[in-house]
Amino acid sequence: MTHPQVHELHHPQTDQSTTLTLADNHVSTETVRGGKTRRTEKHFATAAEAATYAEHQEWALLKKGFVLHQAAAAPGEPLLHRFIGGGYTGSLTFADTPAGLFVYQHGWFRSATDQQDFLLRLDAAGLLLDTLALPTVLAWDAHYQPAWQALVLDLDHIVYEYHLATGRTAFVANGELVVLDSDRQALFRQPLATQLVKGSLVFAAALGRNGQVLAVHTVPGEVQLRSALDGSLQHTLTGDFGLVQQMEFMADDQRLLLLELHGTGRLRCFDLAQQAEVDFTLLEGEDRPLRVKTYCLNADQSRLAVMSETWVELFDPATRQLLHRFPLRHCVKTARLRFVDDALGARTDYACFSLYQV
């Protein structure tokens, strides 16, 4: 018999709680409301059927406003599930800040002049603290900037700042590549020309962790490495990678990790000292290369999380050794991954936000 999987959910408004326990082909449900306890049990022909039933029951509760919050969980198990709601727009961004977790929520699109999206501010237990109406729709990315005490947002490809202390927003919308220092002073500005290829905007950028180097992708099969201090071109990486979906520096800024955009699922890695590509194939067993949908690194870059199908695979990026594998819950096809302290956060296309123990 496998170890039972116990998920506890609580409704913040009604104070009702429900505990789902999955043990092999058996699911028990215990509900406590108004001091009364109700318990039901179901048996299934297979463990897979039982697991599917338990997940469906959990999803139904989440959509009713229940929140799963467990302070302790086994690796691969959820610490938090919360239904975010809203339709799927392709935007799945979220960011961790000292003021809480900000998670994108689609509001409505009734017409070009009547549309609204939001950021939900949650605490660590998944409780709703605030709902922020965005000044424009589609939050493609969000990062907390500690020096500014602000959330930097890419809203429909316009950069906005949201100041946590004052709630004020500011934005810039110029066809330029701009690097600012911690005092918001421009280190350099350069004209930036972008293009559309098969309906996709050719643009990706990454800043080295030492703040010295900038990688910019605006041409298929090409990444420019520039000085982050004055914008001078240092080197141009070329290859058959086409359009780039994600880029990140790693290994003390000595390597650049790329994820191709159009469905190949390949991670490409360049050694910047040698100015050459190195093998970074991730294997999922039987020597089959992993098809990656998205990836993220933790703060000290000791863990690489990748999404393949609807599974998360955790690797040691130095050795490419698989450390752990677990299914991503309440996900149709895709999600955004990002480490939140020691947990892995996920915002799925099924309007669920989760934190997993890793």
Question: For 247-272, what is the mean pLDDT?
Answer: 91
Flag whether pLDDT at 174 surpasses 60: yes
Predicted local distance difference test score (pLDDT) of residue 286: 53
pLDDT in the model for residue 169: 75
pLDDT at 339: 98
* CATH value of 5-69 in 3.90.960.10, 2.40.30.170, 2.20.140.10, 3.40.50.800: 2.20.140.10
Residue 234 and residue 227 in contact, taking contact as beta carbons nearer than 8 Å: yes
What are the distances in angstroms from CA 75 to CA 41, 79, 152, 312?
26, 10, 31, 12
Residue 1 pLDDT > 60: no
Average pLDDT for 168-175:
70
For strand 213-219 and strand 222-227, is the pairing parallel, antiparallel, or unpaired? antiparallel
The predicted model gives 19-46 an average pLDDT of 95
Q: What is the structure's pLDDT at 34? A: 87
pLDDT category at 173 given cuts 50, 70, 90 is low
Amino acid 179: pLDDT? 87
Average pLDDT in the chain: 92
On the question of pLDDT at 181 being above 70, the answer is: yes
Query: Average pLDDT in the 178-192 region?
Result: 86
Query: What's the rounded Cα separation, in Å, for the pair 168 and 171?
Result: 10
For residue 236, what are the CA distances in angstroms to 129, 217, 268?
A: 45, 10, 15
pLDDT at residue 71, rounded to an integer: 87
> How is residue 195 written in tokens?
């293009």
Q: Give domain limits for the chain.
A: 5-69
pLDDT tens string 43-87: 999 999 999 999 999 999 999 999 999 988 999 999 999 999 999
User: Cα(80)–Cα(85) distance, rounded to whole angstroms?
Assistant: 16
Q: Please name which of 138, 150, 128 lies closest in space to residue 93, comparing C-alpha atoms.
A: 138
Q: Which uninterrupted H or E stretch holds 58? A: helix 47-63
Dist CA 39 CA 104 (whole Å) = 36
Which range is least confidently modeled, 144-153, 179-188, 223-232, 280-289? 280-289
pLDDT band at residue 268 using 50, 70 and 90 as cut-offs: very high
In DSSP terms, 5 is beta-bridged to 22
pLDDT at position 36: 93
Could you tell me what percent of the chain has a pLDDT over 90?
78
Closest C-alpha among 94, 68, 71 to residue 82: 68
pLDDT tens by residue, 102-142: 999 999 999 999 999 999 999 999 999 999 999 999 999 99
**What local confidence, expressed as pLDDT, does residue 357 receive?**
96
The alpha carbon of residue 126 and the mean position of all alpha carbons in its chain are separated, in whole angstroms, by 16
**Three-state SS letters, 251-285:** CCCCEEEEEECCCCCCEEEEECCCCEEECCCCECC
Q: Taking a C-beta distance cutoff of 8 angstroms, is the pair 257, 237 a contact?
A: no
Fill in the amino acid letter for 314. L
Backbone angles phi, psi at 259, to 5 degrees: -120, 125
User: Residue 193: its pLDDT value, please?
Assistant: 85
Gap between the Cα atoms of 87 and 105, Å rounded: 8
Instruction: Name the pLDDT band for 291 (thresholds 50, 70, 90).
Output: confident
Q: Which residues of 68-83 are buried (b: 16+ CB within 10 A; e: fewer)?
A: bbbeebeebbbbbbbb
Please write down the HEC assignment for all residues of 132-174.
EECCCCCEEEEEEECCCCEEEEEECCEEEEEECCCCCEEEECC
Q: Token pair of 179, please?
A: 């690097």
| Distance of alpha carbon 82 from alpha carbon 104, whole angstroms | 13
Dig out the tokens for 192 from the structure. Answer: 């930036």
Tell me, what's the pLDDT at 170? Answer: 73
DSSP state of 2: P
Residue 281 reports pLDDT greater than 90: no
In this prediction, residues 325-348 reach a mean pLDDT of 96
